[in-house]
Amino acid sequence: MRQTISALCVLSSLVAFTVVARADQPPHAIPAPAVDNPLTAGKAETATLAGGCYWGMQELFEHVKGVKRVVAGFSGAAEAPPDAGGMAGSGSMAGAGGMAGASGMAGANGMAGASGMAGASGMAAANGTAANGTAGSKAAPAEAVQITFDPGQISYGQILHIYFSAAHDPTQRDRQTPDVGAEYRSNIFYADEQQQQIAEAYIAQLTKAHAYASEIVTLVTPLQQFNRVPEAQQDYYLKHPDLPYIVQVDGPRMAAFRTLFTDMYVAKPAKH
């Protein structure tokens, strides 16, 4: 197992290095949602989002003003995936040589990755239906975070603004460089009809504005279940701040967030 972990760390460093050029590009500023809820004091709400490895997603959103709690886990299936506690964010990476993790590469703690999950063959459109007519990505559990926030300080639309601007690349289908597989897809899991309307309207707005050079492939699907991963995987960036993947892949995304949303950044992270 030590050899497996050691080899994975080396691969992490090499793969992360290949994406630094992309990650260091100027942050992508996009319009804020035209359709959104007004800031209104009241009961805490939740947003469940998937956008690649949950390590970086949890790190970024724990530093957002108005966010009270961010939990890492899996969503998108009726049950938690096998070995959910061991499927690390960097466990299914595709390097420059084309090594695909979705075939079962070991995760960061040595446990098998997402064996059996649909890859690029399970393509899905932004409206939550599969582009090729199959269940595809929608049927596979995705690495996700569940964000509890104060609607008096931050709106659901503002959370999506950060999600689309800095947290991930919504034009990558069934992957999030350097991770490959349906579990790393871009997916919004709405809790109610209002969240669905805001998400779908925002994607339509960004598409019409040609905010990205490529098509937005983010799925918008109902939240059925969210499965929290074990404590060892929570706040992984705090426990392993010097891990090459954390530094070279997640670091630039956090930097982009701080550049684009200076008034929304808080130094002390929210608890999970």
What pLDDT sits at residue 68? 98
What pLDDT sits at residue 183? 96
Residue 9 catalytic?
A: no
3-state SS, one letter per residue, for 7-58? HHHHHHHHHHHHHHHHHCCCCCCCCCCCCCCCCCCCCCEEEEEEECCHHHHH
Question: For each of the chain's 272 residues, which pLDDT tens digit applies?
Answer: 223 222 333 333 333 333 322 444 556 789 999 999 999 999 999 999 999 999 999 999 999 999 999 999 999 864 444 454 444 444 443 333 333 333 333 333 333 333 333 333 333 333 443 333 334 456 689 999 999 999 999 999 999 999 999 999 999 999 998 999 999 999 999 999 999 999 999 999 999 999 999 999 999 999 999 999 999 999 999 999 999 999 999 999 999 999 999 999 999 999 88
What pLDDT sits at residue 249? 93
What pLDDT sits at residue 28? 72
| CA-based nearest residue to 112, from 272, 270, 10, 5 | 5
pTM of the model: 0.75
231 contact partners, CB below 8 Å, separation of at least 6: none
| CA-based nearest residue to 61, from 170, 158, 137, 180 | 158
Q: What's 203's DSSP letter?
A: H
Rounded distance between C-alpha atoms, residue 88 and residue 54, angstroms:
8
What is the enclosing helix (H) or strand (E) of 255?
A: helix 251-260
Indicate the residue type of 213: A
What pLDDT sits at residue 27? 67
Q: Which residue has the tokens 């995304």?
A: 253
Do the Cβ atoms of 40 and 270 come closer than 8 Å?
A: no
What pLDDT sits at residue 77? 61
Q: Please, is 25 exposed, middle or buried when counting C-beta atoms within 10 Å of its C-beta (0-12, 13-18, 19+)?
A: exposed
Catalytic residue among 11, 16, 30, 53: 53
